[in-house]
Chain A
Amino acid sequence: RKEVEQDPGPFNVPEGATVAFNCTYSNSASQSFFWYRQDCRKEPKLLMSVYSSGNEDGRFTAQLNRASQYISLLIRDSKLSDSATYLCVVNMDTGGFKTIFGAGTRLFVKA
């Protein structure tokens, strides 16, 4: 089982749709969580951190469920410019901290 798993997609949605991504992690000692966005042939960029109480940034909402060991990202009112790959990132304490990147979920938003 991979330490961090994401649905690879692709997700194809129309403009204005709401789309949700989930990410599961295997290590219950995981400490911090992030969502990154990566455009084609570009570097990953931090989209948002994920806090225990859940957090929102405009159209984006991130949530953490420690009991079930997953994090989620909700995008409301999708824009064409949201088309990208979304990476789930988990910092795990495995007797020494390490950062694990999910393989990413591809999103296509169409007009």
Chain B
Amino acid sequence: DAGITQSPRHKVTETGTPVTLRCHQTENHRYMYWYRQDPGHGLRLIHYSYGVKDTDKGEVSDGYSVSRSKTEDFLLTLESATSSQTSVYFCAISESGQGAMGNQPQHFGDGTRLSIL
């Protein structure tokens, strides 16, 4: 299995609080992604990174920010969580990807179940 660790695995928090999810990889892959998965919507891309300090928005980026200060870590922050952000969040990595000749598949972490009350 690809060396991807997401933390925390589960979190319950209240509306209006900040939340940060962490994705850590040991594969030295250039590309990292954050997705959310909700019933009826499948996987939707929030943000992705194509290198240290290089990030771009996905299709559902409103209310989320990301940072990548090291190759191995990609952080997703909800500045002020809302109930609509209750979801399962997956981090993924790939050797090549978004914006490039994306012939390499993505590999996923175990996911973070986030509930916002």
Contact = CB atoms under 8 A, between A and B. Distances in A.
A58 interface: no
Interface residues on A, range: 20 to 34
A96 B58 CA distance: 12
A104 B40 CA distance: 10
A87 B37 CA distance: 13
Interface in A78-96: 87, 89, 91, 96
A96 B108 contact: no
A73 to B, nearest CB: 15
Interface in B61-113: 90, 97-103, 105-111
Interface residues of B, number: 20
A92 to B, nearest CB: 9
A97 B102 contact: yes
A72 interface: no
B60 interface: no
A98 interface: yes
A60 interface: no
Interface of A is mostly: strand
Contact of B41 (A42, A44, A103): A103
A103 B97 contact: no
Contacts of B110: 42-43
A97 B105 contact: no
Contacts of A31: 101-103
A108 interface: no
Interface of A: 31-32, 34, 42-46, 49, 87, 89, 91, 96-99, 101-104
The 5 closest A-B CB pairs, nearest first, are A103-B42, A43-B108, A91-B102, A101-B43, A97-B102
24 contacts: A31-B102, A32-B103, A34-B105, A42-B110, A42-B111, A43-B111, A44-B90, A44-B108, A46-B107, A91-B102, A96-B98, A96-B99, A97-B97, A97-B98, A97-B99, A97-B101, A99-B97, A99-B98, A99-B102, A101-B42, A102-B42, A103-B40, A103-B41, A104-B42
Interface of B: 40-43, 45, 90, 97-103, 105-111
